[in-house]
Structure 1
Amino acid sequence: MLLDRLGRQSARHHRLVIALWILAVVLVSVGKGVVGGSFVDNFTVPGTESQTAVDLLTKRFTAQSGVGASVVIVSPTGSVSDPAAATAIAQTKAKIESLALVSTVEVLPSPTTPSIELLNVQYSGTFAQIGKAGYADLVAATAPATAAGLDVNFGGQLTDYAVAPPNSPADFIGLLLSAVILIFAFGAIVAAGLPLITALFGLAVGVTSISIIAAFTNVGTVAPLLAIMIGLGVGIDYSLFIVTRHRENRAAGMEIEDSIARATGTAGQAVLFAGITVVIAITGLVIAGIPYVSNLGFMTALVVLVMMIAALTLIPALLGAFGDRINNGSVARIFHRKEKVATNDGKPNFWERWATHVSRHPWFYAVATLIILITLAIPFTSIRYGQPDDGSDPVGTTQRIAYDTIAKGFGAGVNGPLVIAVTYPAGGSIPPNLVSSIQNTPGVVTVVPPSSPTTINAADNTAVITVIPSTSPDAAATTALINKLRSSVIPEAIKGTQAQAYVGGETATFIDLGDRVKDRLPFFILAVVLLSFILLMMVFHSVVIPATAAAMNLLSVGAAYGVTVAVFQWGWGIELIGLDATIPIVSFIPMMMFAVLFGLSMDYQVFLLTRIREEYDEKKDTRAAVVAGVSKTARVITSAALIMITVFGAFVFNPTPLIKMFGLGLAVAVAVDATLVRMILVPSLMEIFGKANWWFPKWLNRMLPKINIE
């Protein structure tokens, strides 16, 4: 078998394999240093109204089509109109105007707070053209203001691009706690270290490769963190399965090389199957039709692919290099004490007793578990998609200070203005009552009509209207306002004219992104569920098992969605994870979570059900097969799940709200899947269905090939 040979050759030529992995790390590191890619959040949603507005402005207002930045100046002791402060601000404005690619600088004194002034800086270039050096130049240009004792902070697109989130020890904490779990799971420090070494090599190659790719295409700023979080989890898990099987083989008396080959050929099949499933599911995010989301999926899939290859090559090489020394560094085997098996003296192990107990009361446990899972999922019915703004950034960051200062001095809506692109016949003008209709709409504070070359293009056929809402960008009221403007206010105002108007701006873009995800999510879920159903049918040649597996996976994901909504949107325990206000659910998170979780759950599903099927083929007794299968896989599944939960849970304390959501959602889903689903729902439902679990129509048996996974 191919995987057997791969494991054997990797172990036999372990020096070469390890050297190749070291070389890969060196090459990608050099490539990153040469290419120097940067990450950027470029949200485009093709075919939406906000994207039409962006495209119009880019084409017809070249000087205004680039990146924006905000400079917020505060006088801590007086008014910004005081002579010294006013002079310093004027000098600052002049310096900013002299910077490369700066097209306009708009000065806005606060109408309510004399100590606050806002400078809106508009560039004519892109992120790539301006670069982080451009942000450094912007900061340097504010030297006159800071020298005069004024407080200066920065916000806007350029700041978000150039200023990295505060460093978080989440990945280190996850790695450290995973090491502790592995040590107790294996009972040996060296054995525990091999999955960690493999994960670190995989991350070095995978995450660094993402940085190189970012030099050639837009990759979101969260891509590296997302890749580290998911890559660390799956990398350790995949390696854990192979190392565990190898140690079992050695305990059974197999020679080292034969044991490694056998472990790679058996546990490696499950790793290959699960890894490919995750990759296919995540790359399926292209269904969303959102380039940003698709690229995040591709980058995550790349890291999972690297981790899978590392588990199938580097782990066998390390096992070959260490030999029986993997048992060195023995520790107290809290979780690894020798498993007892059922004997004639009636002393089964804990997991066998548990599986027997559940099998004797299947309806009670099935109904109780379903009630728990459905209850956890209920909050998902009230999900509100959106995008956290700078108001959810950690307190003390320049973006957060700028955001709060703008909200205080100008109102919350200034942080997310709406930009309406209006087209009309050349030489004409916007419809006469369009501005007044918008101004009279509840929820609108200010409307800035087109009145200068910066808001009316040279061809005199396009104009820009800026609308300031009364509420913050991520508020539900702002979403309602945009929907009302689009559905009734603007259509009524331009009726009977040749004008067309498109509501855009960052806030509108995020709303359109959420609507796109909401529309595409059911199709994506259907595609992934259908894929998993077909794959599991090919593995087990059963209809009931894939159907129940799909239903149980949906329940696990639904529970994760519900808990995420309850915490972030409803605010349950939100202070415990470092946030001081509720935020909407980032629109693409449910789709990405579904892709990742469905792939990960397949791992546990195949691992457990393969063992149950082996027992059933031998004993022809469903209860006995389920009890034996659960008792023989529970320790590995529990250890693997604990590692996943630890890794994902550590990222809940990352300062980036999006990563917090991913961390919490993934941790909850894995916890639910490995406990309520695998250890309770699976045995109870299999007991209820009995022999029907293994029913498979003859015509399907002839059509579908059989995938053998040991």
Structure 2
Amino acid sequence: MIGNERRRPATVRVAVWSARHPWWAIAGWIGFVLLCVGAGAATGTNRGTLADFRIGEAGRAETIAEDAGLTPPLVEQVLITAPSGRLDPAAAGAAARDVTARMRALPVVAAVGEPVRSVDGAAVRVPVTLAGDPDTARRTVRTLLPETTAVQAVHPDLVVVQTGNASISVGVNDKQGADLARVELISLPVTFAILFLAFGSALAAGLPVLLAISAFAGSVGLYAVASWAFPDAGGAAVSVVFLLGMAVGVDYALFCVKRVREERARGLDRVAAVEAAAATSGRAVVTSGIAVVVSLAGLYLVGDVIFSSVATGAILVVAVALAGSLTVLPALLVVLAPWTGGRRRHARDGSVGRWAAVLQPALRRPGVTLMAGVAITAAVAAPALAMRLGTEGKETFPVSVPAVAAYSQLTTAFPEAGAAHLVAVRAEPARAAEVAAALARLAAGTAGGGVRTSADGTTSVFSVPMPHPENSTEAVGSLERLRRDLLPAGLGTSGVEYAVSGEVARGVDYAAHQDARIPWVIAFVSVATLVVMLLAFGSVPLAAIGVAINLAAVAVAWGVLTLVFQGTWAQDLLGFTSTGFVGSRMPLMVLAILVGLSTDYQIFVVSRIREAVDRGVPTRQAVLDGIAGSAAVVTSGAVIMLSVFASFLFIERIEMKQVAVGLSVAVLFDAVVLRILILPSVMTLLGERSWWPGRPAAQPAATPVRALV
């Protein structure tokens, strides 16, 4: 008996122990989640600094300025206008004086500039310089907002609003947090409803949701601890953690609950059913979890704080969900067995018959079906060849954020207050005087701001106003002229180092950085997935098919993103304003998430096919049995994922809408085209060669598939 225990995989032993000691397992899980939450609360979250976000030449420019103590301070603008458009100078002057007095009284304010009137006289702005470095200023900007609101209350006949990089960042993050809370309120009941339809039991439906919520809570706590090694990049990471926590947590529990109910329907007792499920679906869950973690780990290769924080949070939530499915879930299934169903025997002939009809093209004419599936995939993915990457800027943020709407008004009235190029120059001491003179001429020739120079005279910075939208062709063109022509011609290349930053430069450099890293991430994820699949099934063809299907799903997502968001036809339908580009983070984000989730379903489907083969069923017949046997759970999982991803459409930020559309369409396409047309067609064509170099168990004479369809 002890020998048999030791021969069983560790995951099965853990699940069986939990089933035999359910209350200990439940108490242990509750304690674990509380410990994670407590640890996160105790350590707090380490927010990434601006230095963590530096990329390319723009990052070098900011480092040069910081090293010399010349980092420009953050400046907020308080904009004063009139509802009618005709601004009374006296009223505006009184409001400006009120703003100045209130802001100067705040310790977080370093200086308040003189009010500036627009050329047409329809607006007045008051520049407010925040004290401290930019990271400190971003944390203290909230102190200014009540004062701006108070000025508005005192001057109700005017419109007084505040904008600037700091207040926009705060407003966008607050808005995304509120939107995410609304998404949670939508996705949780929808997920429960889908599971209830799948199981017909409220308790059985509630278990996957409970596991997903607890996994999310625990992983958020662990994420706070891990942020001291991988700094938190902001709201995007938590959004992805919730998205994956719901999708993967529900999926893993769904597969295990479904299998336990099947085993109970076969007449096994509670513990035996858990053991059988752990040895089959549990093994597939573990393999899938490893595959998802490995694919997400590819994001670390990007060398970017945003992707590192997303990878850290996502890996943690997958790992916690996986642990829960092996520990607390078996315990709950034993405790709640009388109320979760599963004792009734289910008729499978009807299910097999229905799926035989669906799979008929792939089983009878696999070659033609495969060509049709590949053609459909290529057609949907083709727009990705014209994908243009860009970076979110102030023009792309939701205008429902007051600071964003105010920024649009500000740049309309004061074009010079918009985006600017920041030029940083560091010269060798022998050339310092010469470079300083050249900089003065260059700044004057580009209408740049005054040159600021370090105490030792070797480093200087100046800004060049750029009255164009950050992602416009004109803005990018002005940056290229400055970098390629004006600076080399004006400063030379010997004994001097220079670089250009600013909103435009950061976006351009970030997109170029992502472009350069995409091939490396694709290669890593593909090889890693190939190895995981090979270890799981011992089959080179199936591992290669898995990688090809994964990349096909990614290509489809990229094609749909390009088609939807680079054009304008879907704007009213999905509630966004087209930027003419896809967010530079989207290709890699979609790649890492989709490869993991696609491998997830590949493993579950192929595992059921392999089970049939190991029972002696010919591969052609096993394809039907395996897909029919996993169809209900895989379909339910796909519908749940689709609902979770689609719920992100309710977040106003366009990047979140891109995540929603890309992942939703890819999951749907994966379930309909890749799993029903391409996978069964390829396996039917390969037959027993699907398992090479392994050899399936001895098989009886083949039953004609035609008889089943």
Establish whether TM, by shorter chain, passes 0.5.
yes
Could you tell which deviates more after superposition, 424-433 or 579-588?
424-433
1:421 maps to 2:421: no
Question: Aligned partners of 2:30, 2:323: CA distance in 1, in Å?
Answer: 14
Q: Show structure 2 runs of 5+ residues with no match.
A: 1-7, 696-709
CA distance in 2: counterparts of 1:693 and 1:484, whole angstroms: 56
After TM superposition, the structure 1 = structure 2 runs for residues 184-199 of structure 1, keeping only pairs within 5 Å, are: 184-199=197-212
Please state whether the residue corresponding to 1:71 is helix, strand or coil: strand
1:11 pairs, out of 8, 19, 44, with 19
Deviates more, 1:519-528 or 1:377-386: 377-386
Q: Of residues 380, 383, 387 in structure 1, which corresponds to 2:391?
A: 387
Letter in 1 for 2:382: I
SS of residue paired to 1:448: coil
User: Counterpart of 1:18 in structure 2: which amino acid?
Assistant: I
SS at match of 1:176: helix
Q: Decide whether aligned partners of structure 1 residues 679 and 438 sit closer, same or farther in structure 2, where only a CA change above 3 A counts.
A: farther
Q: CA deviation at 1:191?
A: 0.8
Return the offset for 1:610: 2.0
Deviation at 1:673, TM superposition (A): 1.3
User: Equivalences for 1:682-697 in 2 at 5 Å?
Assistant: 682-696=679-693
| Partner AA of 1:357 in structure 2 | P
Please state how far the C-alpha of 1:308 moved relative to its aligned partner: 1.3
Aligned counterpart, 1:680: 677
Aligned position for 1:361: 365
Q: CA deviation at 1:311?
A: 1.6
2:265 alignment counterpart: 251
Cα 1:571–1:301 shift into 2, 3 Å: farther
Q: 1:432 to 1:130 in 2, by over 3 A?
A: closer
Matched, 1:475 2:480: no
**Using the alignment, how far apart are the partners of 2:266 and 2:440 within structure 1?**
81
Residue 701 of structure 1: aligned partner: none
Give the residue type in structure 2 aligned to 1:424. Answer: A
Q: Which moved more, 1:625-634 or 1:529-538?
A: 625-634
Q: Deviations over 1:405-428 (max 9, x none)?
A: 1232134x8432211112235552
What corresponds to 2:376 in structure 1?
A: 372
State the partner residue of 2:309.
Answer: 295
Residue pair 2:292, 2:318 contacting (<8 A) in 1 also: yes
Of 332, 336, 352, which residue of structure 2 is paired with 1:322?
A: 336
Aligned positions of 1:310-349 closer than 5 A: 310-327=324-341, 338-341=346-349, 348-349=352-353
For residues 381 and 484 of structure 1, the distance between their equivalents in structure 2, rounded to whole angstroms, comes to: 27
Q: Give runs of aligned pairs for residues 213-292 of structure 1, distance below 5 A.
A: 213=226, 217-292=231-306
Q: How does 1:91-170 map to 2 (within 5 A)?
A: 91-106=98-113, 109=116, 111-126=118-133, 129-130=136-137, 132-140=139-147, 143-144=150-151, 146-149=153-156, 150-163=158-171, 164-165=174-175, 167-168=178-179, 169-170=182-183
Q: Give the direction of change, closer, same or farther, for the CA distance of 1:531–1:201 in structure 2 (3 Å limit).
A: same
- Give me the whole-angstrom Cα distance separating, in 2, the residues matched to 1:348 and 1:264: 24
Contact 1:431-1:499 at 8 Å conserved across structures: no
Partner SS state of residue 165, structure 1: helix
Where does residue 705 of structure 1 map in the other structure? Answer: none
| 2:395 match: secondary structure | helix
Q: Report how far residue 574 of structure 1 moved.
A: 2.3
Q: Secondary structure at the match of 1:529?
A: helix
Taking a change above 3 Å as real, the CA distance of residues 458 and 257 of structure 1, as seen in their structure-2 partners, is same
Per-residue CA distance 1:111-146 (angstroms, 9 max, x = gap): 444232334444353566446454224542663465
Worse-matched range after superposition: 139-148 or 564-573: 139-148
Counterpart contact for 1:45–1:289, Cα < 8 Å = no
Question: Which digits, 9 at most, give the CA deviation of each residue in 1:380-422, with x for residues without a partner?
Answer: 22222222223333333212211221232134x8432211112
Q: Note the C-alpha offset of 1:288.
A: 0.9
**Deviation digits for residues 435-455 of structure 1, max 9, x if unmatched?**
777887xxxxx732324xxx2
| Mapped partners of 1:688, 1:30: distance in 2 | 54
- Taking the aligned partners of 2:86 and 2:67, their CA distance within structure 1 comes to 40
From the superposition, tell whether residues 154 and 212 of structure 1 become closer, same or farther in structure 2 (CA, over 3 Å). Answer: farther
Deviation at 1:213, TM superposition (A): 5.0
Counterpart-to-counterpart distance in 2, 1:43 and 1:669: 35
1:203 to 211, 216, 219: 216
Cα distance change on mapping 1:462 and 1:111 into 2, 3 Å: farther
* DSSP 3-state at the match of 1:239: helix
Query: Cα deviations across residues 45-80 of structure 1 (Å, max 9, x unaligned)?
Result: 556211111112222235x45545343332335666
> Is 1:667 aligned with 2:697?
no
Shift of 1:541: 2.2
How many percent of aligned residue pairs carry the same amino acid?
Answer: 28
For residues 111 and 371 of structure 2, what CA distance do their matches in structure 1 show?
64
The answer to whether the 8 A contact 1:388-1:584 is kept is no
Q: Distance in 1 between the 2:348 and 2:472 partners?
A: 57
| Map of 2:67 onto structure 1 | 59
The alpha-carbon distance between structure 1 residues 110 and 337, as it changes in their structure 2 partners (threshold 3 A), is: farther
Aligned mates of 2:582, 2:31 — CA distance in 1: 41
User: Against the structure 1 CA distance between its residues 317 and 618, is the aligned structure 2 distance closer, same or farther, given a 3 Å change threshold?
Assistant: closer
Whether the 8 Å contact between 2:443 and 2:449 is mirrored in structure 1 is no
- 1:202–1:306 CA contact under 8 A, matched in 2: yes
Q: Which amino acid aligns with 1:12?
A: R
Residues 162 and 372 of structure 1: CA distance in aligned 2, closer, same or farther (over 3 Å): same
Partner of residue 609, structure 1:
606
8 Å contact from structure 1 (residues 543, 696) kept in 2: yes
Q: CA deviation at 1:293?
A: 1.7
User: 1: distance between equivalents of 2:115 and 2:559?
Assistant: 42
**Structure 1 residue 429 displacement after superposition:** 5.5
* Corresponding letter in the other structure for 2:680: P
Conserved 8 A contact 1:568-1:584: yes
Q: Is residue 80–residue 92 contact of structure 2 (8 Å, CA) maintained in 1?
A: no
> Structure 1 residues 677 and 521, CA, compared in 2 at 3 Å: closer, same or farther?
same
Q: Map of 1:589-608 to 2, 5 A cutoff?
A: 589-608=586-605
2:548 to 547, 551, 557: 551
Distance 1:186 1:358 in 2: 29
Number of residue pairs matched by the alignment: 678
Aligned partner of residue 391 in structure 1, secondary structure = coil
Q: Is the 8 A contact 2:40 2:222 kept in 1?
A: yes
Which letter does structure 2 place at the counterpart of 1:685? V
How big is the shift at 1:280?
Answer: 2.1
Cα deviation, residue 182, structure 1: 0.7
Q: Which amino acid aligns with 1:301?
A: I
> 648-657 or 23-32: which moved more?
23-32
Aligned to 1:708: none
CA distance in 2, matches of 1:161, 1:680: 46
